A and B are shown apart, each in its own frame.
Chain A
Amino acid sequence: MSTANTAHSVVEPSLMTKRIAGAIVILYAIITMVPLAWIFLTSFKSPPDSISYPPKIVFQPTLEGYCNLFTTRTRQTPDYIQSLGAPTSTCDEITRNRNMVIAGPSNYWPRFQNSLIIAFGSTFLAVFLGTLSAYGFSRFKVPLADDLLFFILSTRMMPPIAVAIPIYLMYRQLGLSDTALGMILLYTAVNVSLAVWLLKGFIDEIPREYEEAAMIDGYTRLQAFRKVVLPQATTGIAATAIFCLIFAWNEYAFAVLLTSGAAQTAPPFIPTIIGEGGQDWPAVAAGTTIFLVPILVFTILLRKQLLRGITFGAVRK
């Protein structure tokens, strides 16, 4: 609407500048989306289509990738398949067209569930503990508070593999290897340092007078914390929670070293999905798509908190 160089500001860029800037940024955005779009497209391809040359953009979509992702299959003779009754589901039919029958469910769903439990469990714990400590550090005189905070944060500088060595030994002793509880505790410990750091900043911004007023009004310190501080800190808590969740959801190094079966999460599992004669790319793409969708939704729904958290955390450090 506004034309270039209107009276309100001499620094407003001209319309031409804006258009060129916009065009470049949009071009970059589209290019970075190509790999993700390719994952999505590949998940609906049949295995032959996925490895054709030149790569196919137009193809007959099929659910085969998703069927293969959730099932294990065995090869059978056409006679045997003929002798079975009518296929009971779409996946059944697709599998039979490849001369195979469904043998049972694959491990993808249990791994995905592990990811959900561990990511949400550790996020909840980290944010819960982080909020309490952040309030403690923000409002009370804690001896050596700054050194303590800095040291806690600096443990994040260690390569995860370095931390994993003693954790691995400790968990083996305590029987925590390959358990969801072990992973929840570990991710909580990794995340809580960041959570305290971020949340302390957010709580510092809430004037002390609010809760002090409430306490004069008859609230105890705990009530004031719950009814005055917590509601004010909601945005900060949400931003922190997203960070913890993204870390725990995406984490690979600890997961691959410390879990192998019962508590394995999706990231170490997805690369191991194989079909006959190598990686089953449509199934991998399907698994990747399902795994990425929750984060995509989060990013888009909560982008404001996310942006605030990233820049805020960076500027404070």
Chain B
Amino acid sequence: MAARFKGRAAVSRPVAFSSLLVMPVTDTDTTLLDKAAEKAVRATPVPLAYRVRGLSDRSIAWLFIMPTIVLLLAINIFPLIWAVYLSFTNFRANRPNAEIDGVGLTNYQRVLTDPDIWQAMQTTAHFVFWTILLQMLIGFALAYLIDRKFRGHAFWTTVILIPMMLSPAVVGNFWRFLYQPQIGLFNYVYSFFTGVEPSSFEMLGSVTLSPWAIIIVDTWMWTPYVMLICLAGLRSIPDYIYEAAEVDRASAWRQFWSITVPMALPFIMLAVLFRAIENFKMFDMVVLLTGGGPGSTTEVASITLKREAFESWRTGRASAFAIILFVAVFGLANIYVKALNKVKQR
């Protein structure tokens, strides 16, 4: 139906419908549009009828958008402003009646000079780097293979998607069982293939292995997401480009590096952005797998923040940390998007 109205770009007022009547209408079924167009000819001055009926557009726009704005103001914006305010005070949520003093930038200064917090940021960066690297490699490879369109590829794509739909907390909790030394399936399978004694290593208890335990679960869960976005990228490349390359006798290797990769790059970069933002906030899975331990080897930024806010009850300082995190993510994401747009324009 829409196909008949190509070149409708400029049509925005009802009056413009009369011009549509010039087009030859070949099919006999009277669609809503045809009826409307017919009436438009017969109608009394259209703009008048348009204005009198019902609510004005302005009030409808208002009516439609207002509830959302009110909700967001109350539950997103207001708390955000409150957090900014608290970050300049010494408020503690477990002592609501104590006097609140403004402390200026002290909280920010303390957060930025706290070695524990820098440690947590480093841990987070480490996670973000490795999870993204692994997910991109596996996700892109899978997308490339699925795009070969073997028989049953739609079904297997759905199967691969399943982990990303599940709750990271609930499934992460169960991975704790899989990682048990001695009785856990992970250790058993690993020892089955390598011959290492299954009780000789503890994925969650060891300083060197526990970050990898989390990286493995995150990769298991989120590779499908990267795969999907890469797949959308691969499918956006029109066939004729490959056909032209084939005519020019470009090798498959050459086609991959000079057509597939550059043309899918904006999508790959998008996937990196989304995963980076998500993993920067990583919380559920880490809490349930290691709780930040052993020691503080896997203590990512969100966990430090939770400790500050809900265990040490230094609300002001936690708010300052939260705002620093937000500004950092927001700033980095904006720079990244600029880079992304440059790649797109190329």
Q: Which residues of B sit under 8 angstroms from A216, Cβ to Cβ?
A: 14, 17, 36, 39-40, 43, 46, 49-50
Taking the closest CB of chain B, its distance from the CB of A197, in whole angstroms, is 12
> What residues of B have a CB within 8 angstroms of the CB of A11 in the complex?
239, 242-243, 246
Contacts of B148 in A (CB 8 A): 13, 17-18, 21-22
Q: Tell me the residues in window 22-56 of chain B with beta carbons closer than 8 Å to chain A beta carbons.
A: 32-33, 35-37, 39-40, 43, 46, 49-50, 53-55
CA distance A36 to B221 in the complex (A): 11
Q: Whose C-beta in chain A lies nearest to the C-beta of B85?
A: A166
Which of A34, A162, A188 counts the most chain B CB atoms within 10 A?
A162
B82 at the interface (CB under 8 A from A): yes
| A11-B242, A53-B183 known; A133+B232 contact, CB < 8 A | no
Complex CA distance for A250 and B65, rounded to whole angstroms: 28
* Cβ contact of B170, chosen from A54, A215, A267, cutoff 8 A: A267
Q: Which of B108-116, B127-135, B274-282 contacts A (4 or more CB under 8 A)?
A: B274-282
B125 contacts partner chain A, Cβ-Cβ < 8 Å: no
Q: Is A75 an interface residue, CB under 8 A from the partner?
A: no
**Majority secondary structure, B binding face:** helix
Q: How far is the CA of A155 from the CA of B35 in the complex (A)?
A: 45
Q: Are B150 and A25 in contact (CB-based, < 8 A)?
A: yes
Contact B156 A25 (CB under 8 A): yes
Residue of B nearest to A37 (CB): B185
**Interface membership of A60, Cβ < 8 A:** no
A212 to B57, CA, bound (A): 12
Check: A161 CB closer than 8 A to any chain B CB. Answer: yes
Instruction: Bin the interface of chain A by size.
Output: 35 or more
Task: Encode A289-313 as 1/0 by CB contact (under 8 A) with B.
Answer: 0011001101110010011001100
Asked if residues A228 and B32 are in contact (CB atoms below 8 Å), the reply is: yes
Give B167-193 as 1s and 0s: 1 = Cβ < 8 Å from A's Cβ atoms. 111110111011000111100100000
Please tell me if the beta carbons of B156 and A35 are within 8 angstroms of each other in the complex.
Answer: no
Q: Which of A131-175 contact B (CB under 8 A)?
A: 132-133, 135-137, 139-140, 142, 152, 154-155, 157-170, 172
Do B156 and A26 touch across chains, with their CB atoms under 8 A apart? Answer: yes
CA–CA, A222 to B57, complex, Å? 10
| Chain B residues bordering chain A, tally (CB within 8 A) | 122
| B195 is an interface residue with CB less than 8 A from chain A | no
Of listed A33, A166, A172, A257, residue having the most chain B CB within 10 A: A166
Any B CB within 8 A of the CB of A107: no
Instruction: Flag whether A7 is at the interface (Cβ < 8 A).
Output: no
CB-CB under 8 A from A21, the residues of chain B are 145-146, 148, 150
In contact, B168 and A161 (Cβ under 8 angstroms): no
Report B1-26 residues with CB < 8 Å from chain A CB: 2, 5, 8, 11-14, 17
Contact B2 A207 (CB under 8 A): yes
CA distance A26 to B152 in the complex (A): 10
Known A-B contacts A207-B2, A216-B14, A292-B166; the reply to A165 vs B322 at CB < 8 A is yes
Cα A162 to Cα B310 in complex, Å, equals 11
A164 to B76, CA, bound (A): 10
Residue in B36, B67, B153, B321 whose Cβ sees the most chain A Cβ within 10 Å: B36
A250 touching B167 by the CB < 8 A rule? yes
B118: Cβ under 8 A from any A Cβ:
no
A185 to B: closest C-beta gap in Å: 6
Cα–Cα distance between A50 and B46 once the two chains are bound (Å):
75
Determine the distance from Cα of A191 to Cα of B166 in the docked complex, in whole angstroms: 17
**Chain B residues within an 8 Å CB radius of A25:** 142, 145-146, 150, 153, 156, 160
Question: Is B256 part of the contact surface with A, judged by Cβ < 8 Å?
Answer: no
A30 to B50, CA, bound (A): 59
What is the CB-to-nearest-CB distance from A225 to chain B, in angstroms, rounded to a whole number? 8
Given A162-B322, A291-B170: A13 and B149 within 8 A (CB)?
A: yes
| A189 to B, closest residue via Cβ | B75
Within the complex, what minimum Cβ distance (angstroms) separates B276 from chain A? 10
Query: C-beta contact mask, B75-100 vs A, less than 8 Å → 1, else 0?
Result: 11111101100100000010010000
A33 surroundings in chain B (CB, below 8 A)? 159, 162
Assuming the contacts A216-B43, A217-B39, asked whether A159 and B281 have C-beta atoms less than 8 A apart, the reply is yes
> Which chain A residues have a beta carbon within 8 Å of chain B's beta carbons?
9-11, 13, 17-19, 21-22, 24-26, 28-29, 32-36, 38-39, 42, 50-55, 129-130, 132-133, 135-137, 139-140, 142, 152, 154-155, 157-170, 172, 185-186, 188-189, 192-193, 196, 207-210, 212-218, 220-223, 228, 246, 249-253, 256-257, 266-268, 270-271, 279, 281, 284-285, 288, 291-292, 295-296, 298-300, 303, 306-307, 310-311, 314-315, 317
20 intermolecular pairs with C-beta atoms under 8 Å apart: A19-B150, A21-B146, A22-B150, A29-B160, A32-B224, A34-B185, A55-B185, A154-B330, A157-B281, A158-B281, A165-B93, A185-B71, A196-B68, A214-B32, A216-B14, A218-B53, A257-B306, A267-B167, A292-B171, A311-B229
> A-B pairs with the 10 shortest C-beta distances?
A220-B54, A162-B322, A213-B36, A166-B79, A22-B150, A252-B169, A250-B167, A140-B61, A189-B75, A136-B64
